[in-house]
Every structure is written in structure tokens, then in C-alpha cells.
Amino acid sequence: MEIVVVADEGEFAAVAADQVCTLLRHKPAAVLGLPTGNTPVGLYAELVKRNRAGEVDFRRCTTFNLDEYVGLPADHAGSYRTFMWKNLFSGINLPATAAHLPAGDSGDPVRAAREYEALLAKLGPIDLMVLGIGTNGHIGFNEPYTAADSRAHVSQLTPSTIRSNSVYFGREELVPRQAITLGLGNILESRRIMLLAKGESKAKAIAATVMGEIAPTVPASYLQRHPAVMLILDGAAAALLHKPGEKPGRGGEAAG
């Protein structure tokens, strides 16, 4: 694993955006895997800025989001479709038909997951999978004990994920209990993976991902098996990767 610890928000977004832009320069028809959450918001704003400045072109690109809640209308304020259009898709020149998310509102989530799997099989593989991480080490909505070879599926959210994600819904009771997510198998089949994490609340999950045993209790630990994983972390998320007393460095650090 390549680990980059950045100094501030600006560097976090710039380093992550550089990875996307370099890929698209070399491969304009690349397939991107995209996450939601607070963590990638700066990256998305940076990509919008660079696209407007003509520095990156999404016209031939295809995107697959990792996940979507089950049962929310697509235009619901808490849906990941709404999040993606607000933060990225409306600001870049990606054709609307090239932006894919699971159909969480279809009424038949098992079938929607199967169709999402088939679409990825047809248009994939993913060239660069961008990931966030849950405080419990989930990636996408692959909660602890999800099989390492899992495909797109309906996931039952854990109480800790429901609690963490309640900030987007106001109250825990309003958070959907299920989501459709790409599986760990889909994620691990991506050519390259870039995991983003910010803040103290992610430090334990990051330490377990990088230095822990590969175990079903921490789904992100399976990333150790992938040959091309880059982690972009702020100092707080990287804090437990360092020996006591050692200060997190400014970027370009390699470990793991």
C-alpha cells in the first residue's frame, strides 16, 4: 500500500484529484468507481474546478457509484444520487447516461443489485476505484463479515453505520436500513484503488486496514491483498499508523 499523509484540506483534494486527472489524460474513456460521504466532497469540488478550467475532460468517462440506499426516491435529499448530482455530476461534462448508481428506488433491490452487477460486467472493469471508509472499516456498504468475494448485493446496515450516517438524515430513525452496494469482490477487481480518510474517527479503522490482520471484522483489510492501493489520509486519520511520539509527516510517506 502506498500511503500519502497530507497537510491540509487543499492538499487532500489536490493529491486525490491529480490521480483522477492523470488517469483521464492517459485513458479518456476510463471507468471510475466513486464514493459518497463527507470525505470526497473536496475532491469533487476540485474536479469541478479543473473541468471548468479545461484541465480534465469527462466526456468519454464512465462512472459507477459504490452504493445507494434502498427505498429512498432518487430525488430524496438523502439519496446518493442527489449527493452525486449536487457535488459532482452537475458541475462536470460527464454525459448523464454515463453516470451509474444502483437503483435503490426500484422496488426490487435484489434484482436491482443483479442488474448493477451485470452493467459493471459489461462496462467495467473499474480503472480507479475511489473509496471512503466507515468508522467500522466498511467500504461501500460492505459491513463487517461481508465475504471477500461478494458481488453487488443488498446490505443490512449495522447500528454503528446507521448512527454515523444519521447526520445526513437528522434522526437515526430516518436512515434507511438497507442499501445496494458493490461487493468486496467487485472492489478488489478494480485496476487501482484510492482510499480517502479524514479525521480522528477514522484512525482506528485505518490502522486496522493497514497494519491489522486481513479479517472479516474489518472489510477494508482485504485491500492488503490488492497490488495497487493508495491511501490519502490527513494527519488525524493517520495518527495510529505512527509510533507514539512520532509526528505524522507531510506527504509522500510509504508504509504497509
35 is a site residue for ligand GLP (CB under 6 A): yes
39 binds ligand GLP (CB under 6 A): yes
Kindly tell me which of 109 and 132 has the beta carbon lying closer to ligand GLP.
132
x/- mask, ligand GLP, residues 181-200, rule CB under 6 A, reads --------------------
Residues numbered 134 to 173 that lie near ligand GLP (CB under 6 A) are 134, 140-141, 161, 165
Residue of 65, 138, 189, 234 marked active site: 138
Q: Is 66 in the site for ligand GLP (CB under 6 A)?
A: yes
Q: Does 235 bind ligand GLP (CB under 6 A)?
A: no
Contact 193, 223 (CB under 8 A): yes
Q: Which of 46, 127, 143, 234 is catalytic?
A: 143
Q: CA 201, CA 198: separation in Å to the nearest integer? A: 8
Task: State the nearest-atom distance from the C-beta of 37 to ligand GLP, in Å.
Answer: 3
Is 143 one of the catalytic residues? yes
Q: Does 176 bind ligand GLP (CB under 6 A)?
A: no
Known catalytic residue at 67: yes
When asked if residue 37 is in the footprint of ligand GLP (CB under 6 A), the reply is: yes
Site residues (vs ligand GLP, CB under 6 A):
35-39, 66-67, 132-134, 140-141, 161, 165
